Amino acid sequence: MKKAFALLLTLALSASVLAGCGSSKTEQPTENNDTQAEQPAALSGSVATNGSTSMEKVIGALSEQFMADNSGVTVTYDATGSGAGIEAVSNGSADIGLSSRALKDEETASGLVGTTVALDGIAVIVNADSKVADLTVEQIAKIFTGEITDWSEVGGDAGAISCIGREAGSGIRDGFESITGTKDTCVLAQELTSTGAVIEAVAGNPNAIGYASLSAVEGKDTVKAVTVGGVACSEETVLDGSYEIQRPFVLVTKDGVALSAQAQAFFDFATSADANDLIRAAGAVPVAK
Amino acid sequence: MEMENALRAPLRGQVVEKSRGSNGGPASGRKRSGREAMELCFHLLFLLCGVVAVAFVLFISIYLIVAGLPAIREIGLVNFLFGKTWAPTATTVEPSYGILPFILTSIYGTAGAVLIGVPIGLMTAIFLAKVAPPRAARIIKTAVELLAGIPSVVYGLVGMIVLVPAIRKAFGLSSGACLLAAIVVLAIMILPSIINVSETALRAVPQEYEEASLALGATEIETYFRVSLPAASSGVATAVVLGVGRAIGEAMAIIMVAGNVANMPGLFTSVRFLTTAIASEMSYAAYGSLQRNALYSIGLVLFLFIMLINVLLNVFIKNRKED
């Protein structure tokens, strides 16, 4: 009796392992009526994207649309951070690297090519219960370098400020520090490794201040984005440049290495004007005309 | 009769000799050498498995030494081990590669976790092995085993959501992610290993020791602490070694609660351990760069630490045994 039961259970579990196999998509597009050119042969295979955690929503929207249009292709996204994404495309373990900062000189010198696909505002976030609503870039710089240590100095309730930042290879950290002029001088209370972790840390600590991508912060009510110099962070202010703290979303590829057909198709789709609405909906500012 | 001979003669050759001698016939001789061949096969298989284990350890050691030495040579051993700043990606100033903060943090963190975890673990083990009524013991043992099976990420998650805000509120800090949070999480993580091994060691203490002690007039508590525990000391030392090994090697749980800033350790400062130093930077350190090689060197230092602790504790066990 026990043996029979054990055997049955084993068979059921093995069957469920096999249930994951097979790549059939239950929703086939009934008609391919978008403005893309009809591909002569259906694309198939996988596209590996790797990098910035800030670009999660944008890449999510783009890859969902691309996979719906090309049912044989799987687009994967590894949220490892801009530095890791650049390294991945450099050593060939990813097709397209995602970086939320412009490439550095030594990176372009080593053969990497960056294509800007969108602009993103870096929202400076505080806890939703904080009284502070506006900070200037100088105040933000002083807070993060440790010159201003108490919230009462910038208009909030008294309390020691806790600065939450990102790891050293992060794209958003690079963008934030170069615009606020705090490179190598930030005094952080925590160095976290993803956008989501920063938002969670700020949401859980009334004394915390941090920075995260606008696309990740929009619509969240646990954190509040302060206005920088009176300018709120939104797609319009990022596009016309009035919101100072912004950086590009860059697709990184390797010069001289041809992308696979499906990866090239995804790249072309992401940088084309067809993707603008998706990028806008995800919270970033498209640059394709 | 043949079985007795086979059992008495430990050498394989002698077994073959004796069985050939007692039975003669070529058919039974072939059957015997067939069985001998099987024996040989299995002995070789076991030897292979053992060699694989040794080979892995040797391979890892050699790889770590080969990968870790170039950076130490370039940075300088003293600068590397005793430098107080770690800033490999600095662009406005010279990058610095000092890992003293990580070494001290790992030492303090492990020591703190052991200081909290070992007494609690030992007391629980004594409770489970000696004092508890069987039903309570079963329930607690199940709970301990469940604790042992929880993945470290879950510990980190619970630490981040519950422990870090609690520490922040309790001590009035600006951020609760500090060495204290890491020590508490590590202490809870090493409890199951310490409890399980200590309990087994305590149960293995011969009852005669305890009965003798009780007969001589000692109370039960005196017996447990002065007779059972010393008798089980080598098992307890093994438990501590296991606990220390787990604590010093933990990366995932503490990356979420310790704050990860490369500061010199203090109980309420945000700190980075040797393990989290490697984990946070390995993904984006470019191949061949000094930063990546320095991370390999950190791995080498960690490895040497663990070897050192194991050797020290084993020497300690041997000394206790000889006492």
The fraction of chain B above a pLDDT of 70, given in percent, is 89
- Chain B residues 175-194 with a CB less than 8 Å from chain A: 175-177
pLDDT tens digits in sequence order for chain A, 289 residues long = 889 898 999 898 888 887 766 544 444 444 444 444 444 467 889 999 999 988 999 999 999 999 999 989 999 999 888 888 999 999 889 999 999 888 888 889 989 999 999 998 899 999 998 889 999 999 999 999 999 999 999 888 888 899 999 988 888 888 899 899 888 888 898 888 888 889 988 998 899 999 999 888 888 889 999 999 889 988 888 888 889 888 899 999 998 888 899 999 999 999 999 899 999 888 888 888 7
Q: Which residues contact B235 (CB under 8 A, 6 or more apart)?
A: B197, B198, B200, B201, B202, B204
A79 phi and psi, to 5 degrees? Answer: -90, 95
d(CA B144, CA B195) in angstroms, rounded, equals 8
pLDDT surpasses 90 at B2: no
Tell me what the mean pLDDT of segment B105-112 comes to. 94
Interface residue of A105, A126, A190, A200 to substitute, partner B, most B CBs within 10 Å: A190
Q: Which residues, in sequence order, are bridge partners of residue A248?
A: A119
State the pLDDT at residue B16.
Answer: 47
Half-sphere exposure of A211 (CA within 13 A, CB side): 29
State the pLDDT at residue A17.
Answer: 80
- Is B92 near chain A, with CB under 8 Å? yes
pLDDT surpasses 90 at B25: no
- Is B270 near chain A, with CB under 8 Å? yes
Asked if A36 contacts A269 with a C-beta cutoff of 8 angstroms, the reply is: yes
**What ranges in A70-164 are assigned the alpha helix state H?**
82-90, 105-109, 137-145
- Is B121 near chain A, with CB under 8 Å? no
**What ranges in chain A are assigned the alpha helix state H?**
2-18, 56-69, 82-90, 105-109, 137-145, 171-180, 195-203, 214-217, 235-239, 261-271, 276-282
- Please report which confidence band the pLDDT of residue B17 belongs to, taking 50, 70 and 90 as the band edges: very low
d(CA B61, CA B303) in angstroms, rounded, equals 8
Query: Distance from A203 to chain B by nearest Cα, in Å?
Result: 11
d(CA B78, CA B303) in angstroms, rounded, equals 18
d(CA B9, CA B38) in angstroms, rounded, equals 18
Task: Domain B86-322: state its class.
Answer: mainly alpha
d(CA B312, CA A3) in angstroms, rounded, equals 48
State the pLDDT at residue B275.
Answer: 94
List the single residue in A83, A191, A201 with the smallest CB-CB distance to B261: A191
State the pLDDT at residue A118.
Answer: 92
CB atoms within 10 A of CB B48: 10
d(CA B19, CA A227) in angstroms, rounded, equals 94
Residue in the block written with tokens 């996988």: A46
Inter-chain residue contact A169 with B259, CB threshold 8 Å: no
State the pLDDT at residue B12.
Answer: 52
Tell me what the mean pLDDT of segment B171-183 comes to. 90
B256 chain-A contacts, CB cut-off 8 A: 197
Asked if B71 contacts B97 with a C-beta cutoff of 8 angstroms, the reply is: yes
State the pLDDT at residue A26.
Answer: 43
Q: Which residues contact A255 (CB under 8 A, 6 or more apart)?
A: A111, A112, A113
Which stretches does DSSP call E strand in chain B? Answer: 86-87, 96-97
Phi-psi region of B286 (alpha: psi -120 to 50; beta: other; left: phi over 0): beta
User: Does the CA dihedral B53-B59-B64-B69 come out positive or negative?
Assistant: positive
| Domain coordinates in residue numbering, chain B | 2-75, 86-322
Interface residue of B283, B289, B290, B295 to substitute, partner A, most A CBs within 10 Å: B283
d(CA A99, CA A83) in angstroms, rounded, equals 7
Instruction: Please state the ipTM of this predicted complex.
Output: 0.71
Q: Which of A89, A118, A92 is nearest to A252 (CA)?
A: A89
State the pLDDT at residue B15.
Answer: 46
Q: Which residues contact B68 (CB under 8 A, 6 or more apart)?
A: B293, B296, B297, B298, B299, B300, B301
B174 phi and psi, to 5 degrees? Answer: -80, -25
Asked if B140 contacts B128 with a C-beta cutoff of 8 angstroms, the reply is: yes
DSSP secondary structure letter of residue A283: T
Tokens coding A283: 């919270």
Domains of chain A, with CATH numbers?
46-118+248-286 (3.40.190.10), 120-246 (3.40.190.10)
Q: Which residues, in sequence order, are bridge partners of residue B316?
A: none
B33-75 pLDDT, tens digit per residue, is 889 999 999 999 999 999 999 999 999 999 999 999 999 999 9
Q: For chain A, what's the residue count?
A: 289
Q: Which of B125, B116, B119 is nearest to B224 (CA)?
A: B125
Q: Is the pTM of this model over 0.90?
A: no
Query: Distance from A52 to chain B by nearest Cα, in Å?
Result: 11
Q: Which of A52, A50, A49, A281 is nearest to A172 (CA)?
A: A52
